[in-house]
Structure formats: C-alpha cells, structure tokens
Amino acid sequence: MIIIRRIEPDEWIIAKQLIYRVAHIIFNDARPLEDSMAYGESNGWLKDMNDIQQAYFNNDGIFLVMIDENQLICTGAIRKFEDKICELKRLWLLPDYHGKGLGYRMMQELLLFAREKGYERIRLETDPVYQKRAVEFYKRLGFYEVQIPNATEDEDILLEMSL
C-alpha cells in the first residue's frame, strides 16, 4: 500500500539519495551516481535538506514523502516564499512509478496543505529542457510560466499557479 506522510527526522539522507538518483537519470549524467552525488553535495545542491525542520517546517511549510512497502519512492515539499506565496520544492518520483498518478497524488496533498495555510499562489523553478515531462505535468495542473528578470535561455523557468 502506498502512503503519503511527513518525513521523519532520520529519513532526510534517504530522501536526498532518492533525489540524486532520479536527477542522475533525468539529466543523463554520465558520471557514476556516487560521483554525481559528491559533486552535488560539494556545490550545495540540496543544502536545504540538511535541516528540513528549519528550511520547511519552521518556514510555514511541509516536507512529505511517499512510501511503498517501506521504501521511499517520492518526495515533495512546500515552504514560504513571500507573504502569500509558497514555493514547491523537491518533487521527485522514482522513474519506475511514473505514469501511475502518484505524482498527481503527491501534488494534491501539497496543494491542500498550501491552501489550508492560506497561501494564494504557489511557485516553482524547473529545467525546461531535461524536465519537459515535469513542465507538462505542472501546466496540466494549472501552472503558467512567469518571466524571470534577466534570465537567459539556458536557465530554469519559473512557473506559478493561483490557489
């Protein structure tokens, strides 16, 4: 049975590893996974996850995980961005679980949380080249593109949705 729940304090390392595993596949990283993870850690790619309590729970947010048979298969988080705007972060699902409605299920939980907290808009940044499926997914949910000042074509895009 697949369940969604708050991340436990001892699961942040497993959650980080899941994100690095999925990103390694999506971004077609030629390095061994361990090298990619070491590179990401040395560049602070997931530094917000070193203290999930501070970065999310203490910042009017939440960090959820999806579990299947005691295995972490998905992460998703929300944190405050501005007064009535929250930011979607760390939505990653193992590729074997894609196309089964599980990402949608996680998003519904996160959107419910955001609405209950009184947020009026939700934002996220993503890579439009390597994460085309994710961009399409977000747009199907109602997200629309917002211009990033001074952005170049090879940068992430900003998506937003009214809650």
pLDDT digits (tens, 9 = 90+) for 109-151: 999 999 999 999 999 999 888 899 999 999 999 999 998 776 6
Domains observed in the chain? 2-118 (3.40.630.30)
Asked whether the predicted pLDDT for residue 155 surpasses 90, the reply is no
Question: For residue range 38-94, what is the model confidence (pLDDT) as tens digits?
Answer: 999 999 999 999 999 999 999 999 999 999 999 999 999 999 999 999 999 999 999
Helix then strand then coil, % of the chain, to nearest 5:
40, 30, 30
Kindly report the pTM of this predicted structure. Answer: 0.94
pLDDT at 152: 60
End-to-end CA distance of the chain: 29
Position 151 scores a pLDDT of 62
